[in-house]
Structure formats: C-alpha cells, structure tokens
Structure 1
C-alpha cells in the first residue's frame, strides 16, 4: 500500500504537496470516488486526475527526466498553465515536468526540473543542507562593510539569515553561497543594507552548475551528476530528519 499523494508524485504528475491540493480540490478520484487526504492505495486501484488515468511509475524509474534549465528573467516557476510565462510552457518539454523549488521571476539562472516526485520531496525536505551559489550585481560600489554584514547575517522576515560565504567579484558584483531559501532572500538582504539588486543569476545548485547554458536553454543531467545528487539527497535527508528530532 502507498499513500495517494506519494503515488501521484511518483508518477511525475506533480509534487506531493501539489498532489494534496488536487485531492483537497476533489480533482482526484480513486476507483471513481473522491478520496480523503491520507488515503492509501494498492496496485489494483485506479487513480484519475481531472478524469485522466494516472499510471504507476516503473520500479527502475526508467521513464524519469532530470533537466538543468537556465531560467530567463520574466519566467514564473509555476506549473499553472493559465499563468502567462509559466516555466512549463517556457521549457516546452515533450513530457510533463515540474521545477524543484523556485527562482524569483526577476531573477535568472539554474533551476532543476523533473518528473520524479520522490527526488523533489527529498530535496525540498532537506533544502537547508544544500548549497546554492548566485552571482549578484548591485546599483553602487560594494564596501567592505557590506560584504562583512552580508556574510555574518542580516535581519529580514523576522529572523536573521544564516552566516554565508560572500566574495566580491567586481566593483558592483559579488558571489554568494546560501543554504537557506527565504523568500527573495538576497534582494531583501541587499535592501536592508541600502543596495538594490540589478541582476541576480543562480550559477550552481549543490554540485550541478549552470556552466555554458544560455538563457532559455536546458540540458539533461549526466549520469555522474545524477549519482552524486542521489547520494547527497539521501545523506542530507537523514541529517535533516535527525536534526528535526532535536
């Protein structure tokens, strides 16, 4: 037996969180009946979303897709097709895929997309264990005080950001490595210190790099990248689970 939300996410239809929303909205039926949240299903059960049959994923995940995409400015990280400029239409991949996490509409750079709901859940559950590197341009010259305060932590959103690595690249640009994912975090940090972000590019997620992908281009992850990703996700989920028990 498997929980219905996990069954749906494992098929690549959407994330587990989005599957719960579909169930709450009564858009999911099991054997013709709208189920409750937390429902468990077996191999013989028939699952439909919006009237369309959802097929179980092969045990070896041979049909899974893993993409690195250079999201352009103006694209919104949503699977809602009614939203103009949504990431699904922008990528225009022949199979149904969805983004892992988010990248602000005015920002650009690396985002991962997949139809493997299981890996999405593992990455998002342990998000604060994963490094993300950004190249940031601001509207005026960077001071040593700015770099020191950014790296030490800045009070935003009723908390103080975790210490992070910050390195000046040019007169008005710097690289920053975060292990947090607060809403518009870098922009808010800069605003607090009197700077305005003029360009923000995510260049790396964990070991996966943007490299030479131009805005709007995507590539499949290599076998090596996938192997490392699975190892890191497994380790960080265990760490996060243990930490949450404290």
Structure 2
C-alpha cells in the first residue's frame, strides 16, 4: 500500500498532508527518508516528525472513527506546516484523537469546517466535488447591485487562474435590516478554488469584509458559536 494511503487509513493524516510531510523530510521508514509514492507493508518502523507511529514498540490500533463539525473562528489557520504562522485548527480544538480538516477555510474566514480521521471519507467527499454544495454569507465593502449578483451567479473570469468559475446560486435575505441587506448576500458554490469568493468579488471591484460558511452539503452550522465543535455520525453526512 502506498505510504500516504496507509497513513490516511490509520487516521494519522490525510493523503495530501502525508505527501507534504514526505516532501519536508519529516517521514522516516526504517531510518530512511520516505519518498512520494513509496509502497509499504505497514510493518516497517515509521517515524513522523520524530514520533514512532509503526514498528517495534508501537502498539498499533486503528483509531475510533471520528467526524466533527467545528465553527472555525477568524484568525485560525487550517494548515499545519512549519511556514504557517498563527494558531492552527488542530491546536485550537485540542481533540483527544488525531484528526485533520476536510477542505479548508482561509485564515480571515470563519464558519463550518468538517474534520475527521477517516481517509476513505475524505476521498469520497473529494470525488463528490461536483455535487458538494457549500453555502456562505458574504459581506462586502459597498452596496450590492443586481448586475453584481448576476455576474457572480453566471461565473467570473479569474485571469490569474485563466478560467471562469462555475455557475453559483446567490440571493439576499429580505428579513435583514436594509443597511445590512444592501451589503450582504448568500452564495452556494459547488467548487473549492483557493480564496474563490474573495477573488470573484475582487474581479468585480468589491472587497469582502466578512465571509462565513454556514453549510457543507447537508451539514449546517446552525447556532454554533466560534470555537465550538460537535461530534456527528458519518451516516448524517449525505455525500450524494
């Protein structure tokens, strides 16, 4: 089995994180630095960042499956690399089991984030990327126009990526006070480009002042407060 897949199956990290650990030289197999795509049996002595995770003297137990929904506050980062500055999501939660985020929210954004130790679940969700709805509440620096909403929903060309975003669903909440309603909208995306909403708004001359994710597929943030998390059952997550 490839080492990144093994690490994911054991609930140690996602495949992407495993590849990053390998690239950074943090993963040793029988005393040698692991390489990308390396095949292992799972019986080798494996150290991750100096900690024994497999081999003689290590009690190998597959962890209890965990799936959390978490309200990520602004200022918390979703990556754990050495170059990242600031408190990361794993440190912020302090959960008893090793977990990792499914997808990301940038440092300046807040709201719903799913975390797990189930590598196969992450793969299922990634495969469902074309159907994986994510809903956000977005506040911007000036009044929203009908033309802006139309352009956002039709897809915005991002020159730095040389592509146009997928169509999106947008609306404004008529229940809000007029002053808030004028500068705020909901958007539902089915793709996850890096800082996508911020880039779309910038391309149309707007700046995002607050971005809050309130739903991932059928899981909603609800009345959770920043920093709170709850365990949910895998069966609650409707993938397709």
Question: Could you say which residue in structure 1 is the equivalent of 2:176?
Answer: none
Q: Distance in 2 between matches of 1:10 and 1:26?
A: 21
Post-superposition Cα deviations, 1:42-76, rounded to whole Å, max 9, x if no partner, equal: 25333322332225553xxx612211111111111
- How far off its partner does 1:80 sit? 3.6
- How far off its partner does 1:192 sit? 1.9
Runs of 4+ residues deviating >6 angstroms: none
Distance 1:36 1:146, change over 3 A: closer
Q: Are residue 71 (structure 1) and residue 82 (structure 2) matched?
A: no
Q: Are residue 171 (structure 1) and residue 178 (structure 2) matched?
A: no
Q: Are residue 93 (structure 1) and residue 73 (structure 2) matched?
A: no
Question: Could you say which residue in structure 2 is the equivalent of 1:111?
Answer: 113
Equivalenced residues, count: 225
Q: Distance in 1 between matches of 2:166 and 2:104?
A: 19
The question of whether the paired residues in 2 share the 8 Å contact of 1:109 and 1:202 is answered with: yes
Q: Which runs of 5+ in 1 are unaligned?
A: 236-246
Q: Distance in 1 between matches of 2:221 and 2:235?
A: 18
The question of whether the paired residues in 2 share the 8 Å contact of 1:110 and 1:205 is answered with: yes
Q: Are residue 216 (structure 1) and residue 217 (structure 2) matched?
A: no
The question of whether the paired residues in 2 share the 8 Å contact of 1:11 and 1:54 is answered with: no
- How far off its partner does 1:109 sit? 0.5
TM-score for both structures, normalised by structure 2? 0.84
Cα RMSD (Å): 2.1
1:1-246 pair list within 5 angstroms: 2-55=1-54, 58=62, 63-80=64-81, 83-156=85-158, 157-169=161-173, 170-221=181-232, 223=233, 226-229=234-237, 232=239
Distance 1:192 1:21, change over 3 A: closer
Distance 1:120 1:175, change over 3 A: same
When you count helix as a share of all residues, which structure comes out higher?
A: 1
